[in-house]
């Protein structure tokens, strides 16, 4: 296998490749690669760029008069551009969004492999089924008292169920987890929604 790999690498260049000597300890290959990856992020250097294969969106119900029996129109807000690299984060510009806290809520997410030009904050009022595909929704209750991994915020005067204006921030971790953080614009609370971006890319 070692010889076959060297032969393949050599076929890509004009010279012979002999970098996989028998003295190399392949048991440490992953650790060495991870250390070099971290070094290149700090000091610069050549590294293979990855990134998400899809752009990600969150579904936001539009404001307006509620019609009994009819769902509110849905708008898709881009929260991560296609190709967002692991280990990076991005603020999602645009208007504040109200999220409900203190009661079970359902968050709808979408993804796209075709809308490579969308950036965080871009909003779609309509789309075709081939443009956006809906992912499994995330259902959870956002803790009104403090939020996920956050310092305690002031919620003494809030009712058991309330809407909180938030600003979104998206992150892709080195392990491939996509995190969408909701930052309370009125205090220091924040909440985290997450799913595996690598599994989404493979689906």
SS3 string, 37-80, reads HHHHHHHCCCCCCCCCCCEEEEEEECCCCCCCCCCCCEEEEEEE
More confident residue, 57 or 18: 57
Give whole-number Cα distances, 118 to 79, 135, 171, in Å.
9, 18, 16
* Most confident option among 2-11, 98-107, 126-135: 126-135
Tell which wins on pLDDT, 14 or 53: 53
Question: What is the pLDDT confidence band of residue 34, given thresholds at 50, 70 and 90?
Answer: confident
Band the pLDDT of 22: cuts 50, 70, 90: low
**In Å, what is the CA distance from 23 to each residue of 19, 28, 35, 140, 159?**
10, 12, 19, 52, 66
Percent of the chain with pLDDT over 90: 34
Model-level pTM? 0.71
Burial class of residue 194 (count of CB atoms within 10 Å of its CB; 0-12, 13-18, 19+): middle
Which of 47-56, 130-139, 193-202 has the lowest average pLDDT?
A: 193-202
More confident residue, 45 or 8: 8
Q: What is the pLDDT of residues 131-188, one digit of tens each?
A: 999 998 888 888 877 555 433 344 455 555 578 899 999 999 888 889 999 999 988 8
More confident residue, 165 or 72: 165
pLDDT at 3: 78
Q: Look at residue 4 and tell me whether its pLDDT is greater than 90.
A: no
Mean pLDDT score of the chain: 81
């Amino acid at each position: 296998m070692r010889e076959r790999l060297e032969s393949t690498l050599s076929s890509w260049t004009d010279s012979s490749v002999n970098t996989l000597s028998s003295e190399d300890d392949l048991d440490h290959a992953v650790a060495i690669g991870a250390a070099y990856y971290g070094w290149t992020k700090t000091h610069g250097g050549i590294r293979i760029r990855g990134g998400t294969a899809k752009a990600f969106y969150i579904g936001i119900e539009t404001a307006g008069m509620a019609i009994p029996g009819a769902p509110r129109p849905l708008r898709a807000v881009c929260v991560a551009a296609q190709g967002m690299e692991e280990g990076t984060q991005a603020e999602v510009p645009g208007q504040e969004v109200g999220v409900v806290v203190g009661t079970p809520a359902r968050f709808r997410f979408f993804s796209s492999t075709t809308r490579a030009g969308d950036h965080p904050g871009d909003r779609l009022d309509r789309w075709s089924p081939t443009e956006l595909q809906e992912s499994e929704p995330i259902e959870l209750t956002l803790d009104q008292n403090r939020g996920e991994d956050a310092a305690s915020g002031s919620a003494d005067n809030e009712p058991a169920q309330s809407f909180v204006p938030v600003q979104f921030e998206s992150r892709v971790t080195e392990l491939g987890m996509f995190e969408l953080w909701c930052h309370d614009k009125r205090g220091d609370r924040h909440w985290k929604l997450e799913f595996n971006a690598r599994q989404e890319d493979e689906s």
